[in-house]
């Protein structure tokens, strides 16, 4: 199972774009990259998932370079309510056997 | 509404006791996984069930066991509780884009 490395914490201001990069050097061919958001004492919530290139949904974008050894979650115009821990996971979506890292603690300031 | 329901939400047990945590997964999701999340840490994979059989296990001792039932519900059982078992226990059911997590059960062992 691929291990991921993310920055431990980040600070940002309301209205700014936030980019969180995740390193996953030993990603396997069948692995997808998935990002989750977690608030205190709640379960992680799915944000976005991708395999390669760029994926965009209503809340975020995910950029994956051709070698797939890293990925970047982009949150446009963050608000105070985006303060949370963000986890990057790499795993085979057919097996659901994911390893969580320590995540990135994002703090959005007014 | 996540579609995954866990009970109870909070629980206090004494060291040496046994505990059963319950999860009701989303209908149609044949895969359920359990995670342990200590304070300030990322979720740690305990085990996974697919169609009522265990098909993956993390680095947890045998006193952590589980069951999955045909009605998409599942249980996590922990015997001989230790103080270090105090954590948030998360259940996740497997959907097309990855997991849907419950809100967890906060277990405190005293």
Q: For B2-16, what is the mean pLDDT? A: 92
> Tens digit of pLDDT for each residue in B60-109?
999 999 999 988 899 999 999 999 999 999 999 876 667 889 999 999 99
Q: Give the list of residues 6+ apart from residue B81 with CB closer than 8 angstroms, or none.
A: B13, B14, B15, B16, B17, B18, B19, B109
Residue with tokens 């995954």: B4
pLDDT of B1 over the 50 cut: no
Q: Give the list of residues 6+ apart from residue A92 with CB closer than 8 angstroms, or none.
A: A28, A30, A31, A32
Query: Which chain A residues have a beta carbon less than 8 Å from that of B47?
Result: none
Q: For B22-47, what is the mean pLDDT? A: 89
Nearest to A43 among B31, B44, B104 (CB): B104
B88, A85 Cβ separation under 8 angstroms: no
> Tens digit of pLDDT for each residue in A13-68?
999 999 999 999 989 888 889 999 999 888 999 999 999 989 999 999 999 999 99
Q: Give the pLDDT band (50/70/90) at residue A107.
A: very high
B residues 12..71 contacting A (CB < 8 A): 31, 33, 35, 41-45, 48, 56
pLDDT of A93 over the 70 cut: no
Please state the three-class secondary structure of A39-62 as a single string.
CCCCCCEEEEEECCEEEECCCCEE
Taking CA–CA distances from B2, the nearest residue in chain A reads A45
């Amino acid at each position: 199972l691929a291990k991921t490395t993310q920055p431990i914490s980040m600070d940002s201001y309301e209205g700014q774009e936030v980019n969180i990069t995740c390193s996953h050097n030993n990603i396997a061919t069948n692995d997808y990259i998935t990002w989750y958001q977690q608030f205190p004492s709640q379960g992680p919530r799915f944000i976005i998932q991708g395999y390669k290139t760029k994926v965009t949904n209503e809340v975020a974008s995910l950029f994956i370079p051709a070698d797939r050894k890293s990925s970047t979650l982009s949150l446009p115009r963050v608000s105070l309510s985006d303060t949370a821990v963000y986890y990057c996971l790499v795993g085979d979506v057919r097996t659901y056997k994911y390893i969580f890292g320590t995540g990135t603690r994002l703090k959005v300031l007014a | 509404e996540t579609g995954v329901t866990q009970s109870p939400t909070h629980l206090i047990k004494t060291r040496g006791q046994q505990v059963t945590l319950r999860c009701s997964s989303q209908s149609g999701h044949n895969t359920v996984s359990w995670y342990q999340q200590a304070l300030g840490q990322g979720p740690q994979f305990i085990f996974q069930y697919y169609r009522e059989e265990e098909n993956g296990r993390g680095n947890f001792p045998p006193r952590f066991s589980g069951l999955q039932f045909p009605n998409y519900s599942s249980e996590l059982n922990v015997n001989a509780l230790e103080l270090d078992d105090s954590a948030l226990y998360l259940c996740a059911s497997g959907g097309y884009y990855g997991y849907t997590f419950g809100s967890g059960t906060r277990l405190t062992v005293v």
